[in-house]
Amino acid sequence: MAGSRRTPSTAALAAASTTSTANSRSVVLATPTPNTVLQGLEEFGHNVYLTVANQISGAQANLAVLGEDLAAVFGISRETITNPGIYGNPTQNKQYYVPMADYVSAPLATVAMAYGQLTGTAPDLPGFTTAALDTESLVYPGYKIYRGVGTNWFVKWTDSYELLQDKNVRIITRSYYDDQQTKAINDLAAGLEDPTKVMIAAIKGPVDGQTGPGTKTVVVLGLDTTRNVVTINDPTQADGQGLEMSLDDFTQQWSSQRYQLVTAQQAASSSVPLPPPATKLVWSLPAPNEIGQALQAGLKNVAVLVVHQIEGLQANVGQLAEDLSYTFGINDPNIAPPSPESVEYGNYTKNYPYFVYQGNYPTCLIMATAAIIGQLRGGAMPADLGQQILDQATSTPSGVYPGESIFEPNGTGKNGLHWGTNSADAVKLLNMNGINADWTTYLKSQGDVAMDTMTSALNQNQGVIVALASNVIWNAYTRKYFDETRTEPGPNGVASDHSVVVISVDMTKKAVYINDSALQNGQGFPIPLDEFMKAWQYSNYSLITAEAAAT
């Protein structure tokens, strides 16, 4: 069952990975000192505690599943209550409005308004524009956040929020699932109640100069649940100052962006967690003509409920055996592939064969691209597919580096030619080979959202490429299995410098399995989940998801 899993100490793992054979030379055991005995007892007690804690965690997870199953059987859902009232101060804060210079740079107007509202000063759009022209983009490495008037490179929301962070503004970003609309509205209302915060929402709606609706960010000024009205400052519309929308229209436009909600607050302000909102249970009764179907579905759901509990018990027993093996020092130090009872996202067995070794060349992203093309085409992995994609990369103009190819064999980054491959160009290579692909990065606070997106893509049989810090994942492996640190970061410290294919995530084992082209034995390479997230964050959770284009 999925849950927060505690692991034994490094010392226990190191001791457990030491094995002996029948023909080993016998040795004389030294008499342990009192300190050694105490240390051993402390270690043993620590691992016994972990065993008990993991079993409690498993039981808690089972109870959570039981509650969800019962709710499904009886048609019960939980809604978050937002008490009727007026939240925010639109009358005062609509003064912090500034229209966009153009749609490409509209996010700069949004953050300028947000900063003006936070500081009680007039929005300084020229100042934010200048900063964007001078600040390196996180989304487009090697380029500035804004490339000037007349360009078609949109300022990314992620980059615009980084400009606020550069002004010592704390940024917290949340996204919500489709069934969490009431919680999203409640969190918006709670934020509007705090005068030290500015609430930014991502929506899709009318944009001046555009024939259809466009995605944009707006500052939410108020929520009136007595009139069901939301008030915003929308820089993309001439009448966007203090613009009132019906709550239904706002949530419809907001839902298309997964209810993305950004809280901006000056870092000097105290951040006090809000109390959990009140909730209520809602029971959906079937219509009279649906009672028969409801009874049939109810019986089926009861069966599912029982199966879920049996599966949970099986997982706990397996986890207990694993915990006891850690405690008594008899564990196998290797992370095995996902087992049938594992909670797995992706398909380890199916995706494992699609691998290309890069050798001593900076072609990790190109080889990952080739692996994804092979994976999505299916069938046997062509032996020369890596070379085919490399040839394409060296002969195709880059969409990021003017006058250069996607991959420059002699490029060093210091000789006038770029080094490696940009993710935007990897998407271009995928498109050239009949693959639809998206590249997304996330804020530092959005690790959970990035993981949800990745596991969802894996569950849909999509290909997944991530960028990460190589020394973090390699050291995670050697520390866990060999109690050694073997790979040091480069001269610039820990940084995102490598791309790999994710083939599976096993939530039961808390492991991520990758095909890593930098290693000759890099197929199915297991990384502890927590270490994977540490390595991934250095790229702002850079994620390429891909699927075969419809024919």
List pLDDT tens digits, range 398-409.
877 888 899 999
First to last CA, the chain: 38
Residue type, 34: P
What CATH number is given for 86-279 in this structure? 3.90.70.10
Q: Pick the closest to residue 40 from 11, 7, 13 (CA basis).
A: 11
Highest mean pLDDT among 30-34, 263-267, 351-355, 543-547 belongs to: 351-355
What average pLDDT does this structure show over 468-493?
Answer: 60
Residue 451 pLDDT > 60 = yes
pLDDT, residue 113, reads 98
Whole-number Å distance between alpha carbons of 285 and 186: 26
Least-confidence region, from 232-236, 311-315, 473-477 = 311-315
| Of 487 and 132, the one with more pLDDT | 132
pLDDT confidence of residue 381: 93
Q: Distance of CA 246 to CAs 86, 193, 199, 242, Å?
A: 14, 20, 18, 13
Q: Are 426 and 369 a contacting pair, CB within 8 Å? A: yes
Enumerate residues 6+ apart whose C-beta is below 8 A from 212: none
Give the C-alpha separation, 388 to 274, whole Å.
Answer: 55
Low-confidence winner among 284-293, 377-386, 526-535, 539-548 (lowest mean pLDDT): 284-293
Q: Which residue has the tokens 């907001």?
A: 254
Which residue, among 442, 411, 413, 419, has the nearest Cα to 365 in the 3D structure? Answer: 419
The pLDDT assigned to 522 comes to 87
* pLDDT at 125 exceeding the cut of 70: yes
Where does the pLDDT of residue 492 fall: very low under 50, low under 70, confident under 90, or very high at 90 and above?
low
Taking the C-alpha atoms of residue 495 and residue 138, their distance in angstroms, rounded to an integer, is: 13
What average pLDDT does range 306-328 have in this prediction? 54
Q: What is the mean predicted confidence (pLDDT) over 464-470?
A: 93
Average pLDDT for 286-309: 57
Which whole-number Å values give the CA distances from 339 to 171, 345, 504, 509, in the listed order?
A: 40, 12, 12, 9
Look at residue 137 and tell me whether its pLDDT is greater than 50.
yes
Q: How confident is the model at residue 6 (pLDDT cuts 50, 70, 90)?
A: very low
Q: How far is CA 513 from CA 404, 528, 538, in A?
A: 34, 9, 19
- The two structure tokens encoding residue 452: 């949800």
Q: Has domain 334-548 been given CATH number 3.30.450.20? A: no
CA neighbor of 367 nearest in space, from 380, 381, 378? 381
CA angle 450-454-456, nearest 5°? 115
178 vs 176: CA distance, rounded Å:
7
Residue with tokens 């706990």, as numbered in its chain: 316
